[in-house]
Amino acid sequence: FLEKYTIPTATVNKMLAFYEDESDGDMELTAKEFLKTESMWKSWVPADVAKKVSAAL
pLDDT digits (tens, 9 = 90+) for 19-48: 999 999 999 999 999 999 999 899 999 999
Burial class from Cβ neighbours inside 10 Å (0-12, 13-18, 19+) for residue 21 reads exposed
Tell me if 45 sits within 8 A of 1, measured CB to CB: yes
Measured between alpha carbons, how far is 35 from 19 in angstroms, rounded to an integer? 14
Per-residue pLDDT band at 6 (split at 50, 70, 90): confident
Q: Name which of 54, 28, 19, 29 is nearest 40 in CA terms.
A: 54
Give the pLDDT confidence score for residue 2 in this predicted structure: 79
Measured between alpha carbons, how far is 18 from 24 in angstroms, rounded to an integer? 8
Per-residue pLDDT band at 1 (split at 50, 70, 90): confident
